[in-house]
A and B are shown apart, each in its own frame.
Chain A
Amino acid sequence: GQNIDQPTEMTATEGAIVQINCTYQTSGFNGLFWYQQHAGEAPTFLSYNVLDGLEEKGRFSSFLSRSKGYSYLLLKELQMKDSASYLCAVAGGQLTFGSGTQLTVLP
């Protein structure tokens, strides 16, 4: 089975950098995904990692260490619109989601 852990809530200031961690234990691994979900909306894809290392995509980067069962999502130059829930998801036989980290960006 899959077990995915991420912090429930985080708060950061506009313009700052925030790192959202995710740890997982899985019986199969085909990649790790990050999704963003604004309140009342559907999750939208942000990034995925299948090999160890950092994947950069504009203001967002995602890191993976398969040996440690660990990933993080790094958000730079935070904007108010980045306030949302960030879901870590592991692809094994299916995509299993963590419970999400609610990020609040303060002015």
Chain B
Amino acid sequence: DTAVSQTPKYLVTQMGNDKSIKCEQNLGHDTMYWYKQDSKKFLKIMFSYNNKELIINETVPNRFSPKSPDKAHLNLHINSLELGDSAVYFCASSQLLRATRPSSHEQYFGPGTRLTVT
């Protein structure tokens, strides 16, 4: 069974379109994340949700809107796609955010969604 799954794995679309990426985790974790990894391989956090509540919202254009229907799901919707949005987007989950036990920070990543905007 896949611990953290994302769909789709590949997404090719044109500028200006709206698209969504779905993420699900079956680990029973409380916290889920979205990361963007650009062509230079730098992994940067975008959002974090803890028990369906938005905790971290880094400097990300408001064209990006996360939605968490329940704590096992965190979807990412992107409006008006731009060329610079092309990247690999990873979903991840962990037990607890801001926990004092380091092991709670261990994150499990989904396989990634390669988004290409043309």
A residues with a Cβ closer than 8 A to B are 30-31, 33, 37, 41-45, 48, 50, 85, 87, 91, 93-97, 99-100, 102
Contacts and interface: CB of A to CB of B under 8 A. Distances in A.
Closest 4 interchain pairs by CB?
A: A31-B102, A42-B109, A91-B105, A50-B102
A42 B40 CA distance: 15
What size tier do the contact residues of chain B reach? 20 to 34
B90 A94 contact: no
22 contacts: A30-B98, A30-B100, A30-B105, A31-B102, A33-B102, A33-B105, A41-B111, A43-B90, A43-B109, A44-B109, A45-B106, A48-B105, A48-B106, A85-B41, A87-B43, A91-B105, A93-B97, A93-B98, A96-B45, A97-B42, A99-B41, A99-B42
Nearest to B108: A45
B98 A42 contact: no
Given A30-B105, A33-B105, A45-B106, A95 B45 contact: yes
Contacts of A43: 43, 90, 107, 109
Given A42-B112, A43-B90, A97 B102 contact: no
Given A30-B100, A41-B111, A43-B90, A95 B105 contact: yes
A87 to B, nearest CB: 7
B56 interface: yes
Contacts of A85: 41
Contacts of A50: 102
Nearest to B42: A99
A91 B41 CA distance: 19
A94 B56 contact: yes
A37 B107 CA distance: 13
Nearest to A39: B41
A104 to B, nearest CB: 14
